[in-house]
Structure 1
């Protein structure tokens, strides 16, 4: 797995002050994608144990309150093997940090695949659905097109259906 970008102290991709990882590789190829460079699985730099350790340290810094980690792409769910260890570590080593994840897959598609469901189960918020240029709306929060949803993952998993995140 490659990392296209890592942004520390991000205030755009989720609530609060957070860090964001952009994975490389996406087979959706949405027309009008804001980040088409990340379609290439070889774009960026290789994901290493050293990078993972740095993310954990960055999430646990004490001089400022970091809310959590956002995982975008590319398509994170086409990089499950690389991300699963990281999200497990975050839940074990980063007390009180949430995980937001963006995907071109819908919640309903993700829960039908065991490996994708494993990654999803460690996340708190999912923004799902492919970007659709014909449904683009620049006034939406955390999503680019009307078909995309902001979902409470843990509530969705416990209730067996997609549950929106309150105010969005």
Structure 2
């Protein structure tokens, strides 16, 4: 059986959703409902459509300019298992994974064993942009994020050192 991901849409080449040129998958469904969210149409769990992850992998294979994919939303961790499977397939192509989440890194770690798929997705993520969008801390000057409370985290180093390590990008 093919694995399917519920998405709101895909941007084939983006330079604003992580370093380099990225294919961006906007997952459908989010419980955070941040005021001022850039993608409010992704909040409802009943909207969007299902797509085979193999179709996404084929899109990536056809674009030699890509540095990786970005999983955005919505909330990718709501579909952690299938997002993790997709991320692994992309990493096997020597590309990198950026994941946006409204959860904090600390919250993901604390609840990693009780939420299905969180471990799979987090462990395949290279760079995590964490934290809810906070309209009171919004800044258009920030790289790859919308509000000052959000962090750009080097996941591998953070897991190894058991503390948040900010990515040098």
TM-score of the pair, normalised by structure 1: 0.90
Question: Which of 92, 97, 107 lines up with 2:105 in the alignment?
Answer: 107
Aligned residue for 1:83? 83
What value does the CA root-mean-square deviation take over the aligned residues?
Answer: 1.4
**Mapped partners of 1:81, 1:118: distance in 2:** 6
Following superposition, the deviation at residue 158 of structure 1 comes to 0.8
Aligned residue for 1:13? 17
**Mapped partners of 1:125, 1:67: distance in 2:** 13
**Does 2:40 match 1:40?**
no
Q: How does 1:7-156 map to 2 (within 5 A)?
A: 7-48=11-52, 52-61=53-62, 64-92=64-92, 94=93, 96-112=94-110, 113-114=112-113, 115-156=117-158
| Bigger mean CA offset, 127-136 vs 111-120 | 111-120
Native 8 Å contact 1:99 1:124 kept in 2: yes
SS in 2 for 1:154: helix
SS in 2 for 1:19: strand
Following superposition, the deviation at residue 65 of structure 1 comes to 2.4
**Unpaired stretches in structure 1, ≥5 consecutive residues:** none
Aligned residue for 2:165? 163
Native 8 Å contact 1:9 1:18 kept in 2: yes
